[in-house]
Structure 1
């Protein structure tokens, strides 16, 4: 069982006890059947006692309390007021969720929910937790660490959601929902200044051209000095240099017709994160850990560039009072040029320059039905995408380089449906089914060169050597996955539900696969599936002053795709993908919020995940017979406990309202990889934050200050483990932000 720091364990127990004591009398509380629907939200300072939170988790507008899915919803305004830098802040407020910036990256997203995810951001690998931007699936994790601007809310759905969403929701979905323009002139200007010379400038405007046509745009500029320094080159390390923009037009000639065209572009020129050395390599000062975990001695360089662009067209036509046709057409592409210095020294002991390119086209058609007793959606989905890239693995002590390059072309076809039927006023049943077919073509090339870097990365004099991998193969995968649920609502603001769902993620090809060391790599790896059962309750009690969302889950996880990377000199680093066999995952999520008055609210969020491998088959030492190593493996990036507690006090002041919100979030121990690595694995830790915001009456002006990681904790969010003399004993870690304080002025007009 994961260990917690003593203080963390104490607070976790206190939070659980508080939730239990608060909930016990609430279940006995009786209310009139015609009471207003209760507010259900994760925002401690956002919703009033009688506000209804509307979500689109099931592709139609519903009160959160009616949705038989374990989910959290957090408004963009609440994230901004708390000083959140980007969507990774969601993991502090959402149970059983890990959202991190990938090791060696500034804007690549790593996502896990209930133990299901994908850490490897290499082209060809696909996430287990899907990211959606206004219902458009974002296939690649590069550039997916979205900043908080022009966002209305973020919905986090836990568990497989394949009957509702386009692709790869085996572990859940994170839905980033931007604001609709509307037909009134409005705008927002926000400026922030904070620690490490942080400067954030955000502007948004909506201009109605006619009663039915509006255009709008938002632009954001984020800059920040580094948390540390590259001691070799003298430049800042862990800095930020991002510009992002979104333009859209909306046309709504009638109440039954709506069209939106939207385009976005993000350019991240922040310097690469090289990490920091955790272990020495002899007594040479160039190979010793730095005094600050944010410093590095990397000598590979400081150039990094990530660009992402997208265009989408969404159309909704009300065919009748009960039928709506919806079409979502989207194109996205991205490119990344980056550098990773694994040895963290001026020497090219273990260096990796890399580039990635991807594109995708998606088309989704939906027919939504909203009858008196029957509601639901049926749809068709198509994706055509290409992910490609190349990188050098430079082993300087041997004067050798291994070039790895390749592409994966994917065509995905799906038909899905999810229908709900009201058996009575209190009983509802839902059923969904999805058919998925993926067709993939993989091309992998891997070759040794004599010299530092290959011709692809600038060394035309490199001498070609052993050809390790050179193949093109194609495979197809198909699966039928169901989802069913039943709900019982004894009153309007109380809902009990039980559900079963199956998730599916197709197989593929290992872009690092070495056909000499692992000849079977040319065959690719198999799909993974999960069967998930869930029991839940959502309710409002004590005259709408206490809200409780509770869910318990159990999952059978089969053939999990696990990437293993190990040193394999002189070829540098080799990789293989295991289909890990069988695992059981169970746990719960508890979200409670109290609103005893308009001047005070408090929330407690608690998550527990127990993930255990029952079978983990792999090949050891070049053997030809798979060996079960389940007893020596554990789930990565999956803390057993997650928790958050916050409170908001507010008072009327100077023609407005001032609100103070302190919060603490806790995460228990994690392993960075399936194999325990004591030098890398992160012990449990707590993060403390607080915000103070004054908002004028009507919300036109806001002045705020937010502090994050106020105790200045040091915690690892990623790492690499390549020990050994020829790799420079490369055990390096990447860290979350230190203590920061940010002041903000915002004007809405």
Structure 2
């Protein structure tokens, strides 16, 4: 909070100062300001939607998005601010093909078209299929997507494989974030927002020359907000926001042919977070006395409310989602006779210090659950960009090294025996059996990869372009997992002991140790044909043969009867991707309207899927390969700006993402927990207490988790000339909305974890002076829609379903200025 106060004071001074400066130094009305970002956007409406061209760098050079044969959505920085899309999680409300799910920063998934990362708990030994890049630097930890955007100029969401253009391979797509660069003339921005739920946000940036050859930029932000869930056990609101960010850049340009930029950033989150709360219960195939209702009644326990939208919990373990991220990057650009030679050298770190309540209840079952993690990554990329009359090309080399160490602890409490041990066992009545049982985990990973990549655009005629691309990739991963379990009496829990107490303890937390490695070479390629059928009309077709690197399982492995880990499950095979896409990009009404369409089909063999083994203990989940999945669909983006007084957009996607063949998948909770069927037996009906459960389930043909069949985003803004306190400007009214249909919230679709579809609407109204003051009020989730971000099945399969209610209606006001 002290950090927020300091930033607010600085921002407040910046808000006051520029009014006089801008009045004295502003360019004549109607004259362009060369230091302002004025590129039009395909997603978004507002003051940044001002020029005729949507400029992107998707192909590593500045060009109109309508000339790029890639499905891409472009979101401007001002629209990001206006809609409160302060991180990737909020960005999904503006781009319907993007999916974001997070139970905490570490356990986060970012997908495009339904693919990218396995849905569920994060495993350090695998990689994401959606690359996140900030100013050309690859961010390997998806936790970066939960941090506030800082001084962002533009975000491009690229759909489909991008491995022949980007350093790290990206099979599902890429999120390309460009921050505002140092400027050759003095400029600044400042912004303060306040709202309900004690929301406070302050942002400020300043940029300008230090000498003829040197320019600098500094940006800072802070966000705080009261939590949306009230914990009756502690009297605190949880799931709050407490973020701070800092970014500085120094650009040296001694000549027109060379420049180098040194950038550093630091961001920290320190909220009391993240609670998933009681939603409902559903019958499983466990015996009835081992299901939630019976277990809770045996301990005279009741949750504070069975209505999740009362937003109450009684979690009795510490909650924390403290993490910090930052790094340094040196970018250099040299203009040569052959083209532009670029170098990007970067180091990044991530420190994660969490605390969770993994029983999700106000009972001391699991009293400590945390997996602190530290990561360092180093990347080096070289690129040569050539633009010619007939041939354009990009050639690149990329090297990546990552080291991750996680030191986890899980401890059981006095209520664990009655909850976790079969009630028919007398030990279930002895709290001391599991009280104090502790697993200490040491998990390590080193991840090294290198790649050569390139793409050529051959302009056969003025209308026809052929674009082949290739990539050669090498990956090597080494991992180890070491879990030591000690009971409350200080005794080691081992598989050698036959003591009934030890046997009961290791059924909950089992010791395990193994080391594993993976390495592989891979060659991939793509080919695109584009044809300009008429001015303003581009058609294209793409085929890509791509891959996602294999990995190692570092969350524990299934074990045999003697506790030996099944090392065959220690590695996960690479995904093999075949991608087909056709698209049409059109401009009409003298460039005032844009309509883009894409149809795609992506088939993945050996899809990396999360498997849960149903235990409460440290073996929370591991990865396996599903035989085949497919995602296919149609996307449409439309934006129009008939005059500077009105603009609007609507984007939509139909996505059919299914397991095509997954015959040995984990079963949903309603088919789990019973006695495993013997040969010749038939499983019981779903939700039959004490029934027979299949060893695995065939979910071929069922939907992938986390992706809606239908998703839309839409918005409009209109303005009229107005005067306010002697300032001439414009009054404006804007609306943005999004809709998504129902989706599955469990790796194996379950009747208990389907999230119903919902629509959200955001409103804003204000007054602005072009290039100067902007004051507006806003309402987000204006109709106070009750919806879930996701639902989850806690380990143990008691029938408990928990979830994260989405934000309620929030409202507030923002004042910002540019000078």
Shift of 1:86: 2.4
Is this contact kept in 2: 1:342–1:730, CA < 8 A?
no
Counterpart pick for 1:715 among 787, 798, 801: 787
- 1:740 matched to 2:810? The reply is yes
Counterpart for residue 591 of structure 1: 637
Counterpart pick for 1:426 among 421, 441, 463: 463
Determine the C-alpha separation between the residues in 1 that align with 2:366 and 2:329. 41
Determine the C-alpha separation between the residues in 2 that align with 1:201 and 1:189. 8
Counterpart for residue 631 of structure 1: 700
Is this contact kept in 2: 1:401–1:452, CA < 8 A?
no
Distance 1:612 1:556, change over 3 A: same
Shift of 1:429: 0.9
Counterpart for residue 56 of structure 1: 57
The CA deviation string for residues 580-622 of structure 1, in whole angstroms up to 9 with x for no partner, is: 1112221011001122222222211110110122211437769
Counterpart for residue 615 of structure 1: 661
Equivalent residue pairs, number: 699
Distance 1:331 1:285, change over 3 A: same
The CA deviation string for residues 328-362 of structure 1, in whole angstroms up to 9 with x for no partner, is: 00000111111221323333324522211111000
Is this contact kept in 2: 1:392–1:404, CA < 8 A?
yes
Within 5 Å, give how 1:638-677 maps onto structure 2: 638-654=707-723, 655-677=728-750
Question: What SS does structure 1 have at the residue aligned with 2:79?
Answer: helix
Determine the C-alpha separation between the residues in 2 that align with 1:83 and 1:641. 23
Is this contact kept in 2: 1:108–1:144, CA < 8 A?
no
Shift of 1:434: 0.3
Determine the C-alpha separation between the residues in 2 that align with 1:218 and 1:627. 52
Determine the C-alpha separation between the residues in 1 that align with 2:597 and 2:66. 11
Distance 1:339 1:728, change over 3 A: farther
The CA deviation string for residues 432-467 of structure 1, in whole angstroms up to 9 with x for no partner, is: 000111011011123433239999xxxxxx999786
Counterpart for residue 687 of structure 2: none
Is this contact kept in 2: 1:688–1:711, CA < 8 A?
yes
Range with bigger deviation, 41-50 or 115-124? 41-50
Is this contact kept in 2: 1:510–1:521, CA < 8 A?
no
Counterpart for residue 114 of structure 1: 113
Question: What SS does structure 1 have at the residue aligned with 2:700?
Answer: helix
Distance 1:143 1:486, change over 3 A: closer
Is this contact kept in 2: 1:358–1:387, CA < 8 A?
yes
Distance 1:149 1:467, change over 3 A: closer
Determine the C-alpha separation between the residues in 1 that align with 2:69 and 2:701. 36
Counterpart for residue 651 of structure 2: 605
Range with bigger deviation, 506-515 or 681-690? 506-515
Shift of 1:292: 4.8
Determine the C-alpha separation between the residues in 2 that align with 1:612 and 1:412. 30
Counterpart pick for 1:338 among 350, 354, 373: 354
Counterpart for residue 480 of structure 1: 523
Distance 1:519 1:561, change over 3 A: same
Determine the C-alpha separation between the residues in 2 that align with 1:521 and 1:89. 39
Distance 1:390 1:634, change over 3 A: farther
Counterpart for residue 135 of structure 1: 136
Range with bigger deviation, 634-643 or 335-344? 335-344
- 1:469 matched to 2:496? The reply is no
Counterpart for residue 213 of structure 2: 212
Counterpart for residue 472 of structure 2: 435
Counterpart pick for 1:691 among 764, 772, 778: 764
Shift of 1:733: 0.6
Distance 1:576 1:190, change over 3 A: same
Determine the C-alpha separation between the residues in 1 that align with 2:592 and 2:273. 47
Determine the C-alpha separation between the residues in 2 that align with 1:334 and 1:65. 37
Determine the C-alpha separation between the residues in 2 that align with 1:454 and 1:76. 57
Determine the C-alpha separation between the residues in 2 that align with 1:323 and 1:495. 26
Within 5 Å, give how 1:129-528 maps onto structure 2: 129-279=130-280, 281-282=292-293, 283=297, 284-287=300-303, 289=305, 291-293=307-309, 294-320=311-337, 322-351=338-367, 352-396=369-413, 397-398=416-417, 399=434, 400-451=437-488, 468-517=511-560, 519-521=566-568, 523-528=570-575
Distance 1:269 1:521, change over 3 A: farther
Determine the C-alpha separation between the residues in 2 that align with 1:659 and 1:216. 30
The CA deviation string for residues 192-229 of structure 1, in whole angstroms up to 9 with x for no partner, is: 00111111011101131112201121111111111121
Question: What SS does structure 1 have at the residue aligned with 2:356?
Answer: strand
Range with bigger deviation, 222-231 or 86-95? 86-95
Distance 1:338 1:47, change over 3 A: closer
Counterpart for residue 593 of structure 2: 546
Determine the C-alpha separation between the residues in 1 that align with 2:452 and 2:747. 35
Range with bigger deviation, 49-58 or 278-287? 278-287
Determine the C-alpha separation between the residues in 1 that align with 2:757 and 2:544. 31
Counterpart for residue 576 of structure 1: 622
Counterpart for residue 429 of structure 2: none
Is this contact kept in 1: 2:304–2:313, CA < 8 A?
no
Range with bigger deviation, 549-558 or 80-89? 80-89
Is this contact kept in 2: 1:616–1:629, CA < 8 A?
yes
Question: What SS does structure 1 have at the residue aligned with 2:621?
Answer: strand
Range with bigger deviation, 191-200 or 500-509? 500-509
- 1:562 matched to 2:609? The reply is yes
Counterpart for residue 423 of structure 2: none
Question: What SS does structure 2 have at the residue aligned with 1:65?
Answer: helix
Shift of 1:107: 7.6
Is this contact kept in 1: 2:48–2:77, CA < 8 A?
no
Question: What SS does structure 2 have at the residue aligned with 1:79?
Answer: helix
Determine the C-alpha separation between the residues in 2 that align with 1:454 and 1:254. 69
Shift of 1:123: 2.2
Shift of 1:479: 0.9
The CA deviation string for residues 113-158 of structure 1, in whole angstroms up to 9 with x for no partner, is: 1111213333223211111111111111224323133100000000
The CA deviation string for residues 459-480 of structure 1, in whole angstroms up to 9 with x for no partner, is: xxx9997864212222202211
TM-score (norm 2): 0.81
Is this contact kept in 2: 1:394–1:572, CA < 8 A?
no
Distance 1:452 1:390, change over 3 A: farther
Is this contact kept in 2: 1:395–1:572, CA < 8 A?
no
Determine the C-alpha separation between the residues in 2 that align with 1:58 and 1:373. 16
* Rg larger for: 2
The CA deviation string for residues 237-270 of structure 1, in whole angstroms up to 9 with x for no partner, is: 1211111100110011222211110000011011
Determine the C-alpha separation between the residues in 2 that align with 1:222 and 1:519. 46
Distance 1:215 1:308, change over 3 A: same
Determine the C-alpha separation between the residues in 2 that align with 1:622 and 1:390. 38
Could you say which structure has the higher strand fraction?
1
Determine the C-alpha separation between the residues in 1 that align with 2:57 and 2:143. 26
Counterpart for residue 681 of structure 1: 754
